Structure 1
Amino acid sequence: MRVRLKDIAEAAGVSVMTVSNVINGKTARVSAETTDRVRRIIAERGYVPSASARSLAAKSSRLIGLLVPAASEDSLAISPHNIAIFGQIERGLRKRGYHLLLRGVADPAEIGEALRSWSLDGAVLLGFLDEEVAALRPGVLGRTPVLAIDSYADNPLTTGVRSDDFTGARLAAAHLVGLGHRRIVFAGPAFTDVGVVHERFLGFRATLEEAGLPAEDCPVESVNTTHGDGVALGARLLQAHPGCTAVFATADILAIGIIEGLIAAGVPVPGAVSVIGFDDLDISAYITPRLTTIAQDIPGKAANAVDRLLARIEGGDRPADPLVLDVRLVERDSTAPPGA
């Protein structure tokens, strides 16, 4: 049977209000003796405060939604990068006394429903297309603060946090060009004229153009950001792109798959083809060869997202501009001069 606040009050011989004050640390008007007695009875009886009751009293659910696209009714579109973000956000919210609710959204029209049905204090959007984020309006979001991660959408309602994708791709391309590569494949999901992959493509092409490399020597492979699709691309890479000596993959998990596919096809990495990724996931340092990649500050991205969202929830102003975090090149073993 659940122990009630009333049960603690009766056992301690005090009012329910006194017990509530002790639980919430408001003991200025409660004697030390009474405080100790109430706390002892709470411990003995295993009393756990009702989260729903406390939320009702505070007019706050203490719930933050992490909304991610649902690829279908049966699965969520959560990449390894997004899983890392998820863990960091949950940790940051837990330290601030909030709880995280993960919710898959098959249709962006469901975002407003999710905010209302769960009485969320706020929400983080992760993995949505920029046109979907741009389409969100006050009528959908209501008064619930919403922050978008990795978004380039020009929507002041969702101003969020992202990495410097353009500069990251420039670093990747400059690294490969500096090693002597001249025929480099850009591998990533299909993209429009706005978004993370588009920014990485622009940075990649800008550096190659500065090096005098024509576009036809640096073809684009549109491939889903999965390990399996990377394996398939690696297996056919040299057949599809004869003379290719390097690949820039827009995500580590894709790069790791490409390496596996190349090696399975008898193509040494980096002896015949160099591969560089983007993310610096933990697994990048454990595979063979260890992956050269562009590191983005995933813990910093999550921490700043939590800080910005909670500041708005607790009465702060909405930031006018997104926060853009620095990236850096991490050199490991998957890149080398051509024919090394």
Structure 2
Amino acid sequence: MRVTLKDIADEAGVSIMTVSNVVNGNRARVSADTIERIQRIVADRGYVPSASARSLAAKSSRMIGLLVPAADEDSLMISPHNVAILGQIERQLRKSGYHLLLRGIAQPSEVGEALKSWSLDGAVLLNFFDEDIDRLTPGAVGNVSLLAVDSYSDNPLTTGVRSDDYTGALLAARHLLGLGHREIVFASPAITGVGVVHQRYKGFRAAFAEADLTWTERLVTIETATHTTGREVGRRIPTEHPDATAVFATADILAIGIMEGLADSGHAVPDQLSVVGFDNLDLSEYVTPKLTTVAQDIPQKAALAVERLLASIEKQEHPDSPITLDVQLIERSSTGPVRR
């Protein structure tokens, strides 16, 4: 049977309130002997405080939601990048005494429902379209603190943390241009007028403009950035873009799939086509050839996201501008000089 505060109080010969104070660290009016006795009994009997009781007392659930888009019949959009973010956010929250709840969101209207039904103290929005974030209103989310990762939405409810996507793509394109490549394929999910992919597309195009070069549009767009779709793209590129000498993919997992698809079609990387990714996931170093990619600091991104969210929850501090983190190009063996 579960050991209760009353059980501890009866054995220690003190009131339930005294035990509660000791267990919760309110020991100013409790003698050292009593504290030692209660702590010994707690340890001997294996008492574990009730999280729900603590939540009621503190009027806080200590629960943070990680909300991720999910179609009605599909699984969550948990890419390797999102898995890395999830792991780092959970670690940072655990260090601060909070618990993480992962929840799939099929429709933007479900955000408010998730916040209220689970009595969340706050939530992180990951991988949402900016137009969906724009539509969130105070009436829908109530007083729950929100933070969006990798968002370019101007919604003040969700001011968060992102990487410098524009500069990252600029560095990738400069690298390929510096190796002599001019016929470069841009592979990504569909490009809209705002968001991460849009910024990477703008940065990529900017590298050609600053070099006074014209980019002949070689777009390959897909529904989602996965290894499977990347492999399909890699098989198609030699046929659809026979003059291409390089590919920039907006996600590592997509780039790795493209390299495999190129190999399937008998094209060597980097001898025949160079490939650059974006994220610098651990997978980048596990594949052959090792992937040249744009590195973003995922641990720092998660740490700052949690820091900002908890400051909003605990101190009512609401930032008015996002944090944009620096990126850098990591050169590996998937890129090389253009072969004439």
TM-score (norm 2): 0.98
Instruction: Give the match for residue 187 of structure 2.
Output: 187
User: Does the Cα contact within 8 Å between 2:182 and 2:215 map onto a contact in 1?
Assistant: no
Q: Could you list the runs of 4 or more consecutive aligned residues of structure 1 that deviate by over 3 angstroms after TM superposition?
A: none
User: Does the Cα contact within 8 Å between 2:280 and 2:293 map onto a contact in 1?
Assistant: yes
Instruction: Give the match for residue 149 of structure 1.
Output: 149
Instruction: Give the match for residue 174 of structure 2.
Output: 174
Question: Does residue 331 of structure 1 match 2:315?
Answer: no
Provide the aligned length of Structure 1 versus Structure 2: 339
What is the Cα deviation at residue 37 of structure 1? Answer: 1.1
Instruction: Give the match for residue 201 of structure 2.
Output: 201
Distance 1:55 1:162 in 2: 31
The amino acid of 1:116's aligned partner reads K
Instruction: Give the match for residue 94 of structure 2.
Output: 94
Instruction: Give the match for residue 222 of structure 1.
Output: 221
The amino acid of 2:138's aligned partner reads P
| Identity within the alignment, % | 66
The amino acid of 1:254's aligned partner reads L
For residue 317 of structure 2, give the secondary structure of its aligned residue in structure 1.
Answer: coil
Instruction: Give the match for residue 158 of structure 1.
Output: 158
What is the Cα deviation at residue 186 of structure 1? Answer: 0.4
Instruction: Give the match for residue 296 of structure 1.
Output: 296
User: Does the Cα contact within 8 Å between 2:301 and 2:325 map onto a contact in 1?
Assistant: yes
Question: Does residue 83 of structure 1 match 2:83?
Answer: yes
1:225-255 per-position Cα deviation (integer Å, ceiling 9, x unaligned)? 0100100111111110011000000000000
Unaligned runs of 5+ in 1: none
Distance 2:37 2:10 in 1: 12
The amino acid of 2:237's aligned partner reads L
Please report the RMSD computed on the Cα atoms of aligned residues, expressed in angstroms. 1.0
Unaligned runs of 5+ in 2: none
Distance 2:190 2:212 in 1: 25
The amino acid of 1:122's aligned partner reads G
Instruction: Give the match for residue 134 of structure 1.
Output: 134
Distance 1:316 1:36 in 2: 37
Distance 2:261 2:186 in 1: 16
Matches within 5 A, 1:28-47: 28-47=28-47
The amino acid of 1:85's aligned partner reads I
The amino acid of 1:222's aligned partner reads T
For residue 41 of structure 2, give the secondary structure of its aligned residue in structure 1.
Answer: helix
1:29-70 per-position Cα deviation (integer Å, ceiling 9, x unaligned)? 222221111111111111100000001000000000000001
Instruction: Give the match for residue 314 of structure 1.
Output: 314
Matches within 5 A, 1:101-116: 101-116=101-116
Distance 1:67 1:245 in 2: 39
Instruction: Give the match for residue 262 of structure 2.
Output: 262
Distance 1:196 1:74 in 2: 23
The amino acid of 1:330's aligned partner reads I
What is the Cα deviation at residue 213 of structure 1? Answer: 2.8
